[in-house]
Chain A
Protein backbone atom coordinates (compact mmCIF):
# COMPACT_ATOMS: atom_id res chain seq x y z
CA UNK A 1 0.00 0.00 0.00
CA UNK A 2 2.79 2.32 1.03
CA UNK A 3 4.32 1.82 -2.39
CA UNK A 4 1.21 3.17 -4.08
CA UNK A 5 1.06 6.21 -1.79
CA UNK A 6 4.60 6.93 -2.60
CA UNK A 7 4.24 6.51 -6.34
CA UNK A 8 1.16 8.69 -6.67
CA UNK A 9 2.61 11.45 -4.51
CA UNK A 10 5.82 11.20 -6.44
CA UNK A 11 3.95 11.30 -9.74
CA UNK A 12 1.97 14.38 -8.79
CA UNK A 13 5.00 16.21 -7.47
CA UNK A 14 6.95 15.31 -10.57
CA UNK A 15 4.20 16.50 -12.85
CA UNK A 16 4.15 19.78 -10.96
CA UNK A 17 7.80 20.25 -11.93
CA UNK A 18 6.86 19.35 -15.47
CA UNK A 19 4.15 21.98 -15.57
CA UNK A 20 6.59 24.51 -14.23
CA UNK A 21 8.75 23.74 -17.25
CA UNK A 22 5.75 24.27 -19.48
CA UNK A 23 5.22 27.68 -17.89
CA UNK A 24 8.82 28.48 -18.55
CA UNK A 25 8.23 27.50 -22.16
CA UNK A 26 5.24 29.76 -22.79
CA UNK A 27 5.73 33.24 -24.16
CA UNK A 28 2.13 34.32 -24.77
CA UNK A 29 0.36 35.59 -21.66
CA UNK A 30 -2.96 33.81 -22.25
CA UNK A 31 -1.23 30.52 -22.73
CA UNK A 32 0.85 31.20 -19.67
CA UNK A 33 -2.28 31.76 -17.60
CA UNK A 34 -3.79 28.52 -18.82
CA UNK A 35 -0.66 26.59 -17.96
CA UNK A 36 -0.63 28.21 -14.56
CA UNK A 37 -4.22 27.08 -14.01
CA UNK A 38 -3.02 23.59 -14.79
CA UNK A 39 -0.17 24.07 -12.32
CA UNK A 40 -2.65 24.97 -9.61
CA UNK A 41 -4.81 21.98 -10.53
CA UNK A 42 -1.93 19.57 -10.16
CA UNK A 43 -1.04 21.18 -6.87
CA UNK A 44 -4.60 20.80 -5.65
CA UNK A 45 -4.54 17.16 -6.64
CA UNK A 46 -1.27 16.49 -4.86
CA UNK A 47 -2.38 18.30 -1.75
CA UNK A 48 -5.61 16.34 -1.75
CA UNK A 49 -3.63 13.13 -2.10
CA UNK A 50 -1.43 14.12 0.78
CA UNK A 51 -4.55 14.86 2.83
CA UNK A 52 -5.78 11.41 1.99
CA UNK A 53 -2.63 9.44 2.79
CA UNK A 54 -1.84 11.44 5.91
CA UNK A 55 -5.59 11.40 6.70
CA UNK A 56 -5.25 15.05 7.67
CA UNK A 57 -8.63 16.53 6.77
CA UNK A 58 -7.51 20.13 7.24
CA UNK A 59 -5.31 19.76 4.17
CA UNK A 60 -8.45 19.46 2.07
CA UNK A 61 -9.06 23.10 2.89
CA UNK A 62 -5.69 23.95 1.38
CA UNK A 63 -6.55 21.81 -1.62
CA UNK A 64 -9.84 23.65 -2.12
CA UNK A 65 -8.12 27.02 -1.79
CA UNK A 66 -5.64 25.91 -4.41
CA UNK A 67 -8.41 24.70 -6.65
CA UNK A 68 -10.85 27.59 -6.34
CA UNK A 69 -8.62 30.54 -5.74
CA UNK A 70 -5.52 29.72 -7.72
CA UNK A 71 -6.85 27.59 -10.49
CA UNK A 72 -9.91 29.73 -11.21
CA UNK A 73 -10.19 33.15 -9.57
CA UNK A 74 -6.70 34.44 -10.07
CA UNK A 75 -6.27 33.28 -13.67
CA UNK A 76 -9.61 34.81 -14.61
CA UNK A 77 -8.74 38.05 -12.88
CA UNK A 78 -5.40 38.24 -14.58
CA UNK A 79 -6.99 37.35 -17.89
CA UNK A 80 -9.35 40.28 -17.64
CA UNK A 81 -6.57 42.54 -16.61
CA UNK A 82 -4.54 41.57 -19.65
CA UNK A 83 -7.51 42.37 -21.80
CA UNK A 84 -7.88 45.75 -20.13
CA UNK A 85 -4.23 46.57 -20.42
CA UNK A 86 -4.19 45.27 -23.96
CA UNK A 87 -0.88 43.62 -23.50
CA UNK A 88 -1.94 40.17 -24.62
CA UNK A 89 0.27 40.25 -27.69
CA UNK A 90 3.39 41.03 -25.83
CA UNK A 91 6.31 38.67 -25.99
CA UNK A 92 8.22 39.49 -22.90
CA UNK A 93 11.07 37.06 -22.57
CA UNK A 94 14.42 38.36 -21.37
CA UNK A 95 16.27 35.22 -22.35
CA UNK A 96 15.16 32.85 -25.06
CA UNK A 97 13.35 29.58 -24.45
CA UNK A 98 16.42 27.44 -24.97
CA UNK A 99 18.65 29.05 -22.36
CA UNK A 100 15.73 29.27 -19.93
CA UNK A 101 15.12 25.54 -20.35
CA UNK A 102 18.77 24.73 -19.87
CA UNK A 103 18.87 26.86 -16.73
CA UNK A 104 15.75 25.07 -15.54
CA UNK A 105 17.43 21.69 -16.04
CA UNK A 106 20.41 22.92 -14.08
CA UNK A 107 18.20 24.08 -11.24
CA UNK A 108 16.35 20.79 -11.06
CA UNK A 109 19.63 18.94 -10.97
CA UNK A 110 20.89 21.27 -8.27
CA UNK A 111 17.84 20.77 -6.10
CA UNK A 112 18.19 17.00 -6.48
CA UNK A 113 21.84 17.09 -5.48
CA UNK A 114 21.14 19.28 -2.48
CA UNK A 115 18.16 17.33 -1.25
CA UNK A 116 19.34 13.80 -1.86
CA UNK A 117 22.23 14.39 0.52
CA UNK A 118 19.59 14.30 3.21
CA UNK A 119 20.07 11.12 5.21
CA UNK A 120 17.70 8.22 4.60
CA UNK A 121 16.26 8.49 8.10
CA UNK A 122 14.02 11.35 6.97
CA UNK A 123 11.22 9.39 5.28
CA UNK A 124 11.67 9.04 1.49
CA UNK A 125 8.24 10.46 0.73
CA UNK A 126 9.13 13.76 2.36
CA UNK A 127 12.55 13.69 0.81
CA UNK A 128 11.41 13.24 -2.79
CA UNK A 129 8.65 15.75 -2.26
CA UNK A 130 11.12 18.26 -0.94
CA UNK A 131 13.42 17.79 -3.89
CA UNK A 132 10.55 18.46 -6.29
CA UNK A 133 9.27 21.34 -4.20
CA UNK A 134 12.68 22.94 -4.22
CA UNK A 135 12.81 22.48 -7.97
CA UNK A 136 9.43 24.15 -8.37
CA UNK A 137 10.47 27.04 -6.13
CA UNK A 138 13.64 27.61 -8.10
CA UNK A 139 11.82 27.37 -11.41
CA UNK A 140 9.28 29.90 -10.22
CA UNK A 141 12.05 32.25 -9.25
CA UNK A 142 13.72 31.68 -12.61
CA UNK A 143 10.43 32.54 -14.23
CA UNK A 144 10.24 35.80 -12.29
CA UNK A 145 13.70 36.89 -13.33
CA UNK A 146 13.32 35.93 -16.97
CA UNK A 147 9.99 37.68 -17.57
CA UNK A 148 9.54 41.38 -18.11
CA UNK A 149 6.02 42.27 -17.34
CA UNK A 150 4.27 42.22 -14.03
CA UNK A 151 1.60 39.67 -14.91
CA UNK A 152 4.03 36.94 -15.80
CA UNK A 153 6.09 37.84 -12.78
CA UNK A 154 3.03 37.35 -10.64
CA UNK A 155 2.52 34.00 -12.30
CA UNK A 156 6.11 33.11 -11.57
CA UNK A 157 5.67 34.12 -7.97
CA UNK A 158 2.50 32.07 -7.66
CA UNK A 159 4.12 28.94 -9.00
CA UNK A 160 6.98 29.51 -6.60
CA UNK A 161 4.43 29.65 -3.83
CA UNK A 162 2.80 26.47 -5.15
CA UNK A 163 6.16 24.85 -4.58
CA UNK A 164 6.05 26.04 -0.99
CA UNK A 165 2.59 24.62 -0.45
CA UNK A 166 3.74 21.37 -1.95
CA UNK A 167 6.62 21.26 0.52
CA UNK A 168 4.41 22.27 3.41
CA UNK A 169 1.82 19.63 2.70
CA UNK A 170 4.52 17.07 2.10
CA UNK A 171 5.85 17.77 5.56
CA UNK A 172 3.79 15.27 7.50
CA UNK A 173 1.73 16.78 10.33
CA UNK A 174 3.08 20.29 9.91
CA UNK A 175 0.88 22.73 11.79
CA UNK A 176 -0.28 26.08 10.39
CA UNK A 177 -0.20 24.76 6.81
CA UNK A 178 -3.71 26.02 6.16
CA UNK A 179 -3.04 29.37 7.78
CA UNK A 180 0.07 29.75 5.72
CA UNK A 181 -1.63 28.94 2.45
CA UNK A 182 -4.38 31.39 3.35
CA UNK A 183 -1.80 34.03 4.21
CA UNK A 184 -0.13 33.47 0.87
CA UNK A 185 -3.38 33.74 -0.99
CA UNK A 186 -3.87 37.11 0.71
CA UNK A 187 -0.37 38.10 -0.30
CA UNK A 188 -1.06 37.22 -3.91
CA UNK A 189 -4.34 39.08 -3.77
CA UNK A 190 -2.37 42.09 -2.58
CA UNK A 191 -0.06 41.81 -5.53
CA UNK A 192 -2.86 41.57 -8.01
CA UNK A 193 -4.71 44.45 -6.36
CA UNK A 194 -1.47 46.39 -6.45
CA UNK A 195 -1.30 45.99 -10.18
CA UNK A 196 -4.92 47.04 -10.41
CA UNK A 197 -4.19 50.04 -8.20
CA UNK A 198 -1.51 51.22 -10.52
CA UNK A 199 -3.87 50.77 -13.40
CA UNK A 200 -6.92 52.39 -11.86
CA UNK A 201 -5.10 55.42 -10.51
CA UNK A 202 -3.65 55.86 -13.97
CA UNK A 203 -0.24 56.42 -12.49
CA UNK A 204 1.33 54.16 -15.07
CA UNK A 205 0.15 53.60 -18.60
CA UNK A 206 1.50 50.08 -18.46
CA UNK A 207 2.41 47.60 -15.77
CA UNK A 208 5.65 46.93 -17.47
CA UNK A 209 8.06 46.92 -14.57
CA UNK A 210 10.58 48.92 -16.54
CA UNK A 211 8.03 51.71 -16.73
CA UNK A 212 7.81 51.70 -12.97
CA UNK A 213 11.56 51.99 -12.86
CA UNK A 214 11.41 55.37 -14.52
CA UNK A 215 10.61 56.65 -11.05
CA UNK A 216 13.51 54.87 -9.47
CA UNK A 217 15.27 56.76 -6.69
CA UNK A 218 17.74 59.64 -6.85
CA UNK A 219 15.49 61.47 -9.37
CA UNK A 220 17.87 61.04 -12.26
Chain B
Protein backbone atom coordinates (compact mmCIF):
# COMPACT_ATOMS: atom_id res chain seq x y z
CA UNK B 1 0.00 0.00 0.00
CA UNK B 2 2.67 2.43 1.14
CA UNK B 3 4.79 1.24 -1.72
CA UNK B 4 2.01 1.93 -4.16
CA UNK B 5 1.50 5.38 -2.72
CA UNK B 6 5.21 6.19 -2.87
CA UNK B 7 5.31 4.89 -6.40
CA UNK B 8 2.42 7.14 -7.32
CA UNK B 9 4.07 10.12 -5.70
CA UNK B 10 7.35 9.41 -7.41
CA UNK B 11 5.54 9.21 -10.70
CA UNK B 12 3.66 12.39 -9.91
CA UNK B 13 6.89 14.16 -9.19
CA UNK B 14 8.41 13.01 -12.47
CA UNK B 15 5.38 14.15 -14.41
CA UNK B 16 5.23 17.41 -12.50
CA UNK B 17 8.76 18.51 -13.39
CA UNK B 18 8.27 17.35 -16.94
CA UNK B 19 5.11 19.40 -17.30
CA UNK B 20 6.31 22.44 -15.41
CA UNK B 21 9.64 22.70 -17.23
CA UNK B 22 8.38 24.42 -20.42
CA UNK B 23 6.03 26.56 -18.45
CA UNK B 24 8.85 27.78 -16.24
CA UNK B 25 10.99 28.69 -19.23
CA UNK B 26 8.03 30.46 -20.77
CA UNK B 27 7.53 32.33 -17.52
CA UNK B 28 11.13 33.49 -17.43
CA UNK B 29 10.98 34.64 -21.02
CA UNK B 30 7.76 36.47 -20.34
CA UNK B 31 9.16 38.31 -17.33
CA UNK B 32 12.29 39.24 -19.26
CA UNK B 33 10.22 40.61 -22.10
CA UNK B 34 8.14 42.57 -19.64
CA UNK B 35 11.20 44.03 -18.01
CA UNK B 36 12.30 45.10 -21.50
CA UNK B 37 8.93 46.72 -22.07
CA UNK B 38 8.06 44.11 -24.66
CA UNK B 39 4.82 42.18 -24.89
CA UNK B 40 6.69 38.93 -25.02
CA UNK B 41 5.45 35.51 -26.10
CA UNK B 42 2.57 33.85 -24.25
CA UNK B 43 3.45 31.60 -21.32
CA UNK B 44 2.64 28.45 -23.24
CA UNK B 45 4.87 29.33 -26.14
CA UNK B 46 7.39 26.61 -25.23
CA UNK B 47 4.68 23.93 -25.47
CA UNK B 48 3.87 25.22 -28.92
CA UNK B 49 7.50 25.09 -29.90
CA UNK B 50 7.65 21.49 -28.80
CA UNK B 51 4.56 20.62 -30.76
CA UNK B 52 5.87 22.35 -33.85
CA UNK B 53 9.21 20.61 -33.67
CA UNK B 54 7.46 17.28 -33.17
CA UNK B 55 5.45 17.78 -36.33
CA UNK B 56 8.42 18.76 -38.45
CA UNK B 57 10.58 16.24 -40.27
CA UNK B 58 14.14 15.57 -39.15
CA UNK B 59 16.82 16.92 -41.48
CA UNK B 60 19.88 14.90 -40.76
CA UNK B 61 23.36 15.94 -41.91
CA UNK B 62 24.92 13.41 -44.29
CA UNK B 63 27.92 12.94 -42.04
CA UNK B 64 25.80 12.30 -38.95
CA UNK B 65 26.19 8.89 -37.35
CA UNK B 66 23.82 6.63 -35.42
CA UNK B 67 25.16 8.15 -32.24
CA UNK B 68 23.84 11.52 -33.33
CA UNK B 69 20.31 10.11 -33.42
CA UNK B 70 20.55 8.24 -30.12
CA UNK B 71 22.02 11.07 -28.12
CA UNK B 72 18.84 13.16 -27.67
CA UNK B 73 17.14 10.26 -25.94
CA UNK B 74 20.19 9.63 -23.75
CA UNK B 75 20.37 13.26 -22.73
CA UNK B 76 16.68 13.42 -22.05
CA UNK B 77 16.76 10.24 -19.99
CA UNK B 78 19.72 11.37 -17.91
CA UNK B 79 18.31 14.80 -17.23
CA UNK B 80 14.83 13.55 -16.48
CA UNK B 81 16.08 10.94 -14.04
CA UNK B 82 18.22 13.57 -12.36
CA UNK B 83 15.34 16.00 -12.18
CA UNK B 84 12.94 13.41 -10.83
CA UNK B 85 15.31 12.66 -7.93
CA UNK B 86 15.32 16.22 -6.62
CA UNK B 87 12.62 16.61 -3.99
CA UNK B 88 10.23 19.28 -5.14
CA UNK B 89 7.26 19.18 -2.83
CA UNK B 90 7.97 16.15 -0.70
CA UNK B 91 11.08 14.53 0.76
CA UNK B 92 11.73 10.82 1.02
CA UNK B 93 10.87 10.00 -2.54
CA UNK B 94 10.72 6.30 -3.24
CA UNK B 95 13.90 6.19 -5.26
CA UNK B 96 15.73 9.15 -3.77
CA UNK B 97 18.22 6.80 -2.11
CA UNK B 98 19.14 5.29 -5.43
CA UNK B 99 21.30 8.29 -6.23
CA UNK B 100 22.63 10.93 -3.89
CA UNK B 101 23.54 14.49 -4.79
CA UNK B 102 26.91 13.50 -6.23
CA UNK B 103 25.24 10.94 -8.45
CA UNK B 104 22.70 13.52 -9.61
CA UNK B 105 25.50 15.87 -10.61
CA UNK B 106 27.23 13.01 -12.39
CA UNK B 107 24.00 12.24 -14.25
CA UNK B 108 23.80 15.80 -15.48
CA UNK B 109 27.46 15.42 -16.34
CA UNK B 110 26.80 12.44 -18.54
CA UNK B 111 24.04 14.38 -20.26
CA UNK B 112 26.57 17.09 -21.04
CA UNK B 113 29.14 14.52 -22.14
CA UNK B 114 26.80 13.19 -24.80
CA UNK B 115 25.66 16.64 -25.85
CA UNK B 116 29.29 17.63 -26.43
CA UNK B 117 29.79 14.45 -28.46
CA UNK B 118 26.76 15.36 -30.54
CA UNK B 119 28.39 18.69 -31.24
CA UNK B 120 31.44 16.88 -32.58
CA UNK B 121 29.53 14.29 -34.57
CA UNK B 122 28.59 16.08 -37.77
CA UNK B 123 32.07 17.46 -38.16
CA UNK B 124 31.34 21.15 -38.52
CA UNK B 125 33.40 23.98 -37.13
CA UNK B 126 30.60 25.46 -35.03
CA UNK B 127 29.79 22.18 -33.38
CA UNK B 128 33.41 21.95 -32.35
CA UNK B 129 33.38 25.47 -30.92
CA UNK B 130 30.31 24.65 -28.87
CA UNK B 131 31.61 21.38 -27.49
CA UNK B 132 35.08 22.65 -26.63
CA UNK B 133 33.69 25.67 -24.82
CA UNK B 134 31.04 23.59 -23.08
CA UNK B 135 33.57 21.14 -21.67
CA UNK B 136 35.82 24.03 -20.65
CA UNK B 137 32.97 25.58 -18.69
CA UNK B 138 31.98 22.23 -17.22
CA UNK B 139 35.53 21.46 -16.20
CA UNK B 140 35.27 24.34 -13.74
CA UNK B 141 31.57 24.16 -12.90
CA UNK B 142 31.61 20.53 -11.85
CA UNK B 143 34.35 20.79 -9.24
CA UNK B 144 32.64 23.90 -7.88
CA UNK B 145 29.42 21.91 -7.62
CA UNK B 146 31.22 19.06 -5.86
CA UNK B 147 32.68 21.51 -3.37
CA UNK B 148 29.17 22.83 -2.67
CA UNK B 149 27.99 19.28 -2.16
CA UNK B 150 30.87 18.75 0.27
CA UNK B 151 29.82 21.76 2.29
CA UNK B 152 26.19 20.69 2.48
CA UNK B 153 27.10 17.10 3.17
CA UNK B 154 29.40 18.14 6.00
CA UNK B 155 26.65 20.28 7.50
CA UNK B 156 23.89 17.75 7.14
CA UNK B 157 26.13 14.74 7.60
CA UNK B 158 24.84 13.18 4.40
CA UNK B 159 25.02 13.47 0.64
CA UNK B 160 21.47 12.14 0.48
CA UNK B 161 19.33 14.90 -0.97
CA UNK B 162 16.16 14.15 0.98
CA UNK B 163 18.15 13.80 4.19
CA UNK B 164 19.79 17.16 3.58
CA UNK B 165 16.43 18.74 2.82
CA UNK B 166 14.90 17.24 5.94
CA UNK B 167 17.87 18.50 7.95
CA UNK B 168 17.49 21.95 6.47
CA UNK B 169 13.81 22.11 7.41
CA UNK B 170 14.65 21.11 10.96
CA UNK B 171 15.67 23.92 13.28
CA UNK B 172 19.07 22.34 13.86
CA UNK B 173 20.59 24.46 11.15
CA UNK B 174 21.12 28.13 11.89
CA UNK B 175 22.73 30.80 9.78
CA UNK B 176 26.17 29.68 8.77
CA UNK B 177 28.99 31.37 6.85
CA UNK B 178 29.68 28.24 4.87
CA UNK B 179 26.03 27.98 3.87
CA UNK B 180 26.09 31.52 2.55
CA UNK B 181 29.19 30.90 0.52
CA UNK B 182 27.73 27.66 -0.78
CA UNK B 183 24.53 29.42 -1.83
CA UNK B 184 26.38 32.07 -3.82
CA UNK B 185 28.57 29.46 -5.44
CA UNK B 186 25.56 27.30 -6.26
CA UNK B 187 23.78 30.19 -7.95
CA UNK B 188 26.83 30.98 -10.03
CA UNK B 189 27.21 27.35 -11.03
CA UNK B 190 23.52 27.10 -11.87
CA UNK B 191 23.78 30.11 -14.17
CA UNK B 192 26.80 28.63 -15.89
CA UNK B 193 25.37 25.13 -16.18
CA UNK B 194 22.17 26.36 -17.78
CA UNK B 195 23.98 28.64 -20.15
CA UNK B 196 22.21 31.77 -18.97
CA UNK B 197 23.50 35.33 -19.27
CA UNK B 198 26.27 36.31 -18.51
CA UNK B 199 27.82 32.96 -19.45
CA UNK B 200 25.85 32.19 -22.55
CA UNK B 201 22.80 33.62 -24.18
CA UNK B 202 20.04 31.03 -24.75
CA UNK B 203 18.41 33.36 -27.25
CA UNK B 204 21.48 34.10 -29.33
CA UNK B 205 22.17 32.98 -32.85
CA UNK B 206 25.29 35.06 -33.34
CA UNK B 207 27.66 32.23 -34.17
CA UNK B 208 30.82 33.19 -32.34
CA UNK B 209 29.12 33.77 -29.01
CA UNK B 210 27.24 30.51 -28.97
CA UNK B 211 28.02 27.65 -26.69
CA UNK B 212 24.94 25.52 -26.14
CA UNK B 213 23.22 26.62 -29.33
CA UNK B 214 26.33 25.82 -31.35
CA UNK B 215 26.31 22.23 -30.20
CA UNK B 216 22.68 21.62 -31.15
CA UNK B 217 23.00 23.56 -34.38
CA UNK B 218 22.59 20.45 -36.54
CA UNK B 219 19.56 19.12 -34.68
CA UNK B 220 16.06 19.50 -36.00
CA UNK B 221 12.56 18.15 -35.58
CA UNK B 222 11.83 15.70 -32.78
CA UNK B 223 15.49 15.46 -31.83
CA UNK B 224 15.68 19.18 -31.27
CA UNK B 225 12.42 19.00 -29.32
CA UNK B 226 13.95 16.49 -26.91
CA UNK B 227 17.10 18.52 -26.56
CA UNK B 228 15.14 21.67 -25.81
CA UNK B 229 12.95 19.85 -23.35
CA UNK B 230 15.92 18.46 -21.48
CA UNK B 231 17.50 21.92 -21.38
CA UNK B 232 14.36 23.25 -19.73
CA UNK B 233 14.31 20.26 -17.39
CA UNK B 234 17.84 21.08 -16.38
CA UNK B 235 16.86 24.65 -15.60
CA UNK B 236 13.93 23.69 -13.45
CA UNK B 237 16.06 21.04 -11.80
CA UNK B 238 18.58 23.62 -10.64
CA UNK B 239 15.91 25.98 -9.42
CA UNK B 240 14.16 23.31 -7.43
CA UNK B 241 17.55 22.13 -6.16
CA UNK B 242 18.31 25.58 -4.80
CA UNK B 243 14.78 25.68 -3.49
CA UNK B 244 14.93 22.43 -1.58
CA UNK B 245 18.40 23.13 -0.23
CA UNK B 246 18.22 26.76 0.77
CA UNK B 247 14.47 27.42 1.01
CA UNK B 248 13.14 24.09 2.19
CA UNK B 249 10.00 25.55 3.67
CA UNK B 250 6.88 23.83 2.59
CA UNK B 251 8.54 20.61 1.53
CA UNK B 252 6.48 17.92 3.22
CA UNK B 253 8.17 15.18 5.21
CA UNK B 254 7.81 11.62 4.01
CA UNK B 255 5.02 10.93 6.50
CA UNK B 256 2.78 13.67 5.21
CA UNK B 257 -0.74 12.73 4.20
CA UNK B 258 -2.10 13.34 0.73
CA UNK B 259 -4.10 16.56 1.37
CA UNK B 260 -1.16 18.40 2.81
CA UNK B 261 0.70 17.62 -0.35
CA UNK B 262 -1.34 20.29 -2.05
CA UNK B 263 0.32 22.81 0.24
CA UNK B 264 3.68 21.44 -0.71
CA UNK B 265 2.96 21.73 -4.40
CA UNK B 266 1.70 25.27 -3.93
CA UNK B 267 4.87 26.18 -2.05
CA UNK B 268 6.94 24.63 -4.80
CA UNK B 269 5.22 26.57 -7.53
CA UNK B 270 5.65 29.71 -5.48
CA UNK B 271 9.36 29.04 -5.17
CA UNK B 272 9.62 28.47 -8.90
CA UNK B 273 7.89 31.77 -9.54
CA UNK B 274 10.26 33.67 -7.26
CA UNK B 275 13.28 31.90 -8.71
CA UNK B 276 12.17 32.57 -12.27
CA UNK B 277 11.50 36.22 -11.49
CA UNK B 278 14.92 36.70 -9.87
CA UNK B 279 16.61 34.97 -12.77
CA UNK B 280 14.86 37.18 -15.29
CA UNK B 281 15.75 40.32 -13.37
CA UNK B 282 19.35 39.21 -13.11
CA UNK B 283 19.60 38.39 -16.79
CA UNK B 284 18.10 41.68 -17.92
CA UNK B 285 20.32 43.69 -15.62
CA UNK B 286 23.67 42.25 -16.80
CA UNK B 287 25.54 41.86 -20.10
CA UNK B 288 27.05 38.68 -21.47
CA UNK B 289 30.74 38.32 -20.77
CA UNK B 290 33.49 37.23 -23.14
CA UNK B 291 34.02 33.49 -23.26
CA UNK B 292 37.46 33.74 -21.69
CA UNK B 293 36.13 35.73 -18.76
CA UNK B 294 33.99 32.72 -17.87
CA UNK B 295 36.85 30.81 -16.22
CA UNK B 296 37.36 33.67 -13.80
CA UNK B 297 33.64 33.68 -12.98
CA UNK B 298 33.58 29.95 -12.35
CA UNK B 299 36.97 30.00 -10.69
CA UNK B 300 35.43 32.36 -8.18
CA UNK B 301 32.59 29.90 -7.65
CA UNK B 302 35.10 27.07 -7.16
CA UNK B 303 37.07 29.13 -4.67
CA UNK B 304 33.93 29.98 -2.72
CA UNK B 305 32.96 26.34 -2.60
CA UNK B 306 36.43 25.29 -1.54
CA UNK B 307 36.49 28.00 1.10
CA UNK B 308 33.16 26.85 2.48
CA UNK B 309 34.37 23.26 2.63
CA UNK B 310 37.64 24.28 4.29
CA UNK B 311 35.72 26.21 6.91
CA UNK B 312 33.62 23.14 7.61
CA UNK B 313 36.73 21.00 7.84
CA UNK B 314 38.37 23.41 10.23
CA UNK B 315 35.46 23.70 12.62
CA UNK B 316 31.90 22.52 13.05
CA UNK B 317 30.77 25.98 14.05
CA UNK B 318 31.19 27.61 10.61
In the complex they form, whether A and B have CB atoms below 8 Å apart is answered with no
Q: Interface residues, chain B, CB within 8 Å of chain A?
A: none
